[in-house]
Amino acid sequence: MLTDLLTQDMIQVSAQEMDWQEAIKQCATPLLTNGAIEARYVTAMIAKVEEFGPFINIGPQIAMPHARPDEGVNHLGMSLLKLDHQVELLDDPKHPVSLFICLAAVDNKAHLAALSCLAKLLAKKEIVTQIMQAKTPAQIAKIIQEGEEK
């Protein structure tokens, strides 16, 4: 399932320095481009973090911004942004992030299926390390594909 969602065109690697809001916007760009989400979904993802805190920080260096389906999701999608320079979620040094994975799900069933596949992949520390060291979207797509096959 992940290889269907996180295709090479949904993956970005950036050496640009940015803040956490810019990182969420950048991560969501492929989802906007392919019509999976509307611009208001990006605003909602940022607003959720501002309202509820760093709950999207799902593991060391990893954040999964998301919002409710009715806040601008058109179809299931996922995008990934790997940063060469980490950002501090909510400008808090306790929450450094260099890997953002945006999830856009139309319902709880799709949401849980996508999260389950992602959780299995991210539970493998060697795969996370490989993703963090990757330099191109093609390398990350290959790591995800190989990780899903294991």
Rounded Cα–Cα distance for residues 17 and 25 (Å): 13
- Cβ-defined contacts of 119-125 (< 8 Å, 24+): 121/2, 121/147, 121/148, 122/58, 122/59, 122/62, 124/150
> Across the chain, how many H-helices and E-strands are there?
6, 5
Assess whether 85 carries a catalytic annotation: no
Rounded Cα–Cα distance for residues 56 and 51 (Å): 12
Catalytic residue among 66, 75, 95, 111: 66
Q: Write out the catalytic residue numbers.
A: 66
